Amino acid sequence: MNIDFNVKLESTVYHPDPIYQKESWMGDWNTAYQRFLDNPTRFWEEKAEELEWFKRWECVRQWNHPYAQWFVGGKLNITHNCLDRHANGDNKNKVALIWRGEDEFSERVLTYRQLYHQVMRFANALKDLGVTKGDAVCLYMPFVLEHIVAILACARIGAVHSIVYGGFGAAALHTRIRDAKAKVIITADIGYRRGNTIPLKSIVDDAIRNAPSVEKVVVLFRSKPHEELISEKQVDFYEIMRAADPFCKPQVMDAEDPLFILYTSGTTGTPKGIVHTCGGYMVGTYYTTKYVMDLKDSDVYWCTADPGWITGHSYIIYGPLAAGGTILISESVPDYPNPGIWWDIIEEQGVTVFYTSPTAIRMFMKFGEEWPFRYNLDSLRIIGSVGEPLNPEAFEWYHRVIGKGRCPILDTWWQTETGMQMITTLVGEPMKPGFSGRPIPGVIADVVDREGNSNPPGIGGLLVIKEPWPAMMRTIQNHDERYRKYWTTIKQYYTAGDLAVKDDDGYIMFLGRSDDIIIIAGHNIGTAEVESALVSHEAVAEAAVIGRPDPIKGQSIKAFVILCIGYEPGENLKKDLIYHVRMSLGPIAMPSEIEFVSSLPKTRSGKIMRRVLKAQEMGIDPGDVSTLEE
Ligand code: WTA
């Protein structure tokens, strides 16, 4: 693929009120970034010193390319910093979590003290099931408070959690359970979405067939009356909690012990189990929550992600709790029961920091300004975006209609692999629609050509990170070679897989992925995963999948399918194939269009050239096709 291209870079510049910067934790970018460059070790050490450690580290960073260790020798437990530190201090009565159900009037609140106690009890319940440090626990849950309690309980006892988004289907869940060798699964009988129920537990029942590592399934019952527990493997969430001891000391963890695995789509059919560790991840997420999102003690913070994605891990749970924030969580989707629900929640709860996705913003643009205008959004201080490029139109709308021309917008670029935010425009800095911004202090990033030479402004290239950072992934579960590839593709840099361009001020604009990953509504879907789901249908001989532009979701999936002999193309078969993908991977991976074809463009070595299909689809030049078979 040709990665060097000219990009037009003009953009309007917005200047937030100087008071934002004056009152921010970080201050101005130039000074803060220079302080980092002057002494990177001291920079990170200062951030780590704001947190509590059972034993101080001996060395801040040990870099043995491509393996980094951070806060080497340090001992900690992240939940001590997320819970005990607040619950045993002045913040004990501070609200930690406010949960809103899909039905407008269901709400639950936990103070730091209450959350601390629930986590300890559930941690003991897990211990009673035989879970010990290093065991993998898979969570497949709806977005309820118990989900967060269960996650923190794993971290409390040193179990490695692997959260699988509740929208994934049985096959996707099965792969993830097997790869992580999960000993315990925590789920609920049902989830709610747009007034419908999703049968989570029956999906788990399917997924654990042929998954010998699974010893127990913990079920949170929400429906009343609920079904009886039938198999011996199953236990009731609250029953085991009630039977458990109330006090649970945090497990002493080494800074480099694993904290969790989170699966993300890769360019092959098998998802990548990204492994994060305790110390560096804690410091990175705490630092960014406080200094980048500028979280203050009085804030009411709402991140609309789900715990099943990295954004949920880092910016609903670990970062904001470590920073002692008041966190709003909601099971509701943006448009149910009506497209005013989120603005209603912001007004009612007095949300001050709001963090969502470009897809959600574009959806609201479609519903019309009259919805947000019905509500008072004056409480908002800072608004953010993550997951995909925030296009200038969406930026302008977000800024004017939600931020009232006043709130700084944080368009944060980062990845499951990076663990923490990496590039954005700091609060109070001039903002340029279409540009995410500059690397945050602590991060050294650049746009380069294939050889790793820095590209001048206006010339597109690949985004790389030149030096390790504390919250970076440490390996990929069972596939360290896939990890090493990130750091060995271009020089000794970390290659993110994103195309980008920078302007004269060093602001970076993101232009999409350079590989076969499609980003739909901010969710990574590997083309290979969808293709193998299609091929697992009896009618399909071969399949190729591409992403094409979608006005709301950023991209959508189009599949090209070659049928097996004896099958006739037709509308019913299309529906059947879409349903098949839905059942195996989940609704997020469903193709929006299927085209039956008799051949696919391939290289002589047999690789499908998706880029040729994409160019055909979009009526553009396919570029170099010299390797095409015919
Ligand atoms: C894309 C989500 C442009 C990017 C935190 C990246 C973005 C992938 C942005 C990671 C942004 C995320 N602007 N693109 N602000 N944020 N991306 O692992 O392609 O789910 O590589 O992490 O999302 O997605 P992931």
466-484 pLDDT per residue, tens: 999 999 999 999 999 999 9
Q: Whose CA is nearest to atom 3 of ligand 1?
A: 389
Examine the pLDDT at 264 and tell me if it is beyond 60.
Answer: yes
**pLDDT, mean of residues 94-105:** 90
Asked if 63 contacts 469 with a C-beta cutoff of 8 angstroms, the reply is no
Q: Whose CA is nearest to atom 6 of ligand 1?
A: 415
Tell how far the Cα of 314 is from the centroid of ligand 1, in angstroms.
14
Tell how far the Cα of 69 is from the centroid of ligand 1, in angstroms.
24
Asked if 101 contacts 109 with a C-beta cutoff of 8 angstroms, the reply is no
The residues facing 593 across adjacent strands are 558
Which atom of ligand 1 is least distant from the CA of 512? 19
Examine the pLDDT at 571 and tell me if it is beyond 80.
Answer: yes
Tell how far the Cα of 525 is from the centroid of ligand 1, in angstroms.
12
Tell how far the Cα of 414 is from the centroid of ligand 1, in angstroms.
5
Tell how far the Cα of 415 is from the centroid of ligand 1, in angstroms.
5
**In terms of DSSP bridges, do strands 160-163 and 475-476 run parallel, antiparallel, or are they unpaired?**
unpaired
Tell how far the Cα of 391 is from the centroid of ligand 1, in angstroms.
13
| pLDDT tier, 526 (very low <50, low <70, confident <90, very high otherwise) | confident
3-class DSSP assignment, residue 138: strand
Q: Whose CA is nearest to atom 7 of ligand 1?
A: 388
Which atom of ligand 1 is least distant from the CA of 309? 20
3-class DSSP assignment, residue 174: helix
Mean confidence (pLDDT) of the chain: 94
Tell how far the Cα of 123 is from the centroid of ligand 1, in angstroms.
32
Edge-to-edge strands, sheet with 95-100: 107-111, 95-100, 326-330, 300-303, 353-356, 382-386, 409-412
Report the 10 Å Cβ neighbour count for 73.
15
Question: What's the CA dihedral at 595, 597, 603, 605 to 10 degrees?
Answer: 110
Please tell me the distance from the alpha carbon of residue 317 to that of residue 300, in angstroms, as a whole number: 14
Tell how far the Cα of 76 is from the centroid of ligand 1, in angstroms.
29
Tell how far the Cα of 519 is from the centroid of ligand 1, in angstroms.
8
498, 499, 502, 514, best to mutate for ligand 1 pocket (most atoms within 8 Å of CB): 498
Tell how far the Cα of 232 is from the centroid of ligand 1, in angstroms.
41
Please tell me the distance from the alpha carbon of residue 396 to that of residue 359, in angstroms, as a whole number: 14
Please tell me the distance from the alpha carbon of residue 259 to that of residue 134, in angstroms, as a whole number: 9
Examine the pLDDT at 8 and tell me if it is beyond 60.
Answer: yes
Q: Whose CA is nearest to atom 24 of ligand 1?
A: 415
Mean pLDDT is lowest, of 9-18, 255-264, 402-411, 444-453, for 9-18
Please tell me the distance from the alpha carbon of residue 343 to that of residue 359, in angstroms, as a whole number: 16
pLDDT, residue 4, reads 61
Examine the pLDDT at 229 and tell me if it is beyond 90.
Answer: no
Which atom of ligand 1 is least distant from the CA of 424? 15
Q: Whose CA is nearest to atom 4 of ligand 1?
A: 388
Tell how far the Cα of 75 is from the centroid of ligand 1, in angstroms.
31
Which residues, in sequence order, are CB contacts of 547 under 8 Å at separation 6+?
518, 519, 520, 527, 555, 556, 557, 558, 614
Q: Whose CA is nearest to atom 1 of ligand 1?
A: 388
Task: Express each pLDDT in 417-454 by its tens digit.
Answer: 999 999 999 999 999 999 999 999 999 999 999 999 99
pLDDT, residue 626, reads 67
Asked if 62 contacts 72 with a C-beta cutoff of 8 angstroms, the reply is yes
Tell how far the Cα of 553 is from the centroid of ligand 1, in angstroms.
13
Examine the pLDDT at 627 and tell me if it is beyond 70.
Answer: no
Asked if 352 contacts 298 with a C-beta cutoff of 8 angstroms, the reply is yes
Ligand 1 neighbours (beta carbon < 6 A): 264, 309-311, 386-389, 411-416, 436, 496-498, 510, 513, 519, 524
Which atom of ligand 1 is least distant from the CA of 510? 3
Tell how far the Cα of 202 is from the centroid of ligand 1, in angstroms.
32
Examine the pLDDT at 331 and tell me if it is beyond 70.
Answer: yes
Q: Decide which of 3.40.50.300, 3.30.300.30, 3.40.50.980, 3.30.420.40 is the CATH code for 110-251.
A: 3.40.50.980
Residue type, 306: D
Q: Whose CA is nearest to atom 8 of ligand 1?
A: 415
Which atom of ligand 1 is least distant from the CA of 311? 5
Which atom of ligand 1 is least distant from the CA of 417? 18
pLDDT, residue 266, reads 78
Tell how far the Cα of 260 is from the centroid of ligand 1, in angstroms.
20
Please tell me the distance from the alpha carbon of residue 546 to that of residue 558, in angstroms, as a whole number: 5
pLDDT, residue 630, reads 56
Tell how far the Cα of 522 is from the centroid of ligand 1, in angstroms.
7
265, 415, 424, 523, best to mutate for ligand 1 pocket (most atoms within 8 Å of CB): 415
Tell how far the Cα of 280 is from the centroid of ligand 1, in angstroms.
20
The residues facing 464 across adjacent strands are 446, 495
Examine the pLDDT at 69 and tell me if it is beyond 90.
Answer: yes
Report the 10 Å Cβ neighbour count for 624.
10
For 610, phi and psi rounded to 5 degrees? -65, -30
Report the 10 Å Cβ neighbour count for 150.
29
Please tell me the distance from the alpha carbon of residue 594 to that of residue 33, in angstroms, as a whole number: 48
Instruction: Report the percentage of the chain scoring pLDDT > 90.
Output: 82
Report the 10 Å Cβ neighbour count for 432.
22
Residue type, 458: G
Q: Which of 272, 327, 423 is nearest to 86 (CA)?
A: 327
pLDDT, residue 1, reads 45
Which atom of ligand 1 is least distant from the CA of 416? 18
Task: Express each pLDDT in 185-194 by its tens digit.
Answer: 999 999 988 8
| pLDDT tier, 232 (very low <50, low <70, confident <90, very high otherwise) | confident
164, 359, 388, 420, best to mutate for ligand 1 pocket (most atoms within 8 Å of CB): 388
Which atom of ligand 1 is least distant from the CA of 423? 15
Which residues, in sequence order, are CB contacts of 596 under 8 Å at separation 6+?
560, 561, 562, 563, 569
Mean pLDDT is lowest, of 39-48, 86-95, 262-271, for 262-271
pTM for the full model? 0.93
| pLDDT tier, 267 (very low <50, low <70, confident <90, very high otherwise) | confident
Q: Whose CA is nearest to atom 25 of ligand 1?
A: 415
5-77+260-512: which CATH architecture? 3-Layer(aba) Sandwich (3.40)
Q: DSSP code of 485? A: H
Domain parsing of the chain, residue ranges: 5-77+260-512, 110-251, 517-618
5-77+260-512 and 517-618: identical CATH topology: no
| pLDDT tier, 528 (very low <50, low <70, confident <90, very high otherwise) | confident
Please tell me the distance from the alpha carbon of residue 483 to that of residue 473, in angstroms, as a whole number: 8
DSSP labels for 363-432? Answer: HHHHH-THHHHTS--TT--EEEEESS---HHHHHHIIIIISTTTS-EEEEB--TTT-S--EE--TTS-B-
pLDDT, residue 515, reads 85
Mean pLDDT is lowest, of 470-474, 524-528, 553-557, for 524-528
For 230, phi and psi rounded to 5 degrees? -100, -45
CATH topology of domain 517-618: GMP Synthetase; Chain A, domain 3 (3.30.300)
Which atom of ligand 1 is least distant from the CA of 513? 19
Q: Whose CA is nearest to atom 15 of ligand 1?
A: 413
Burial of 253 (0-12, 13-18, 19+ CB in 10 A): buried
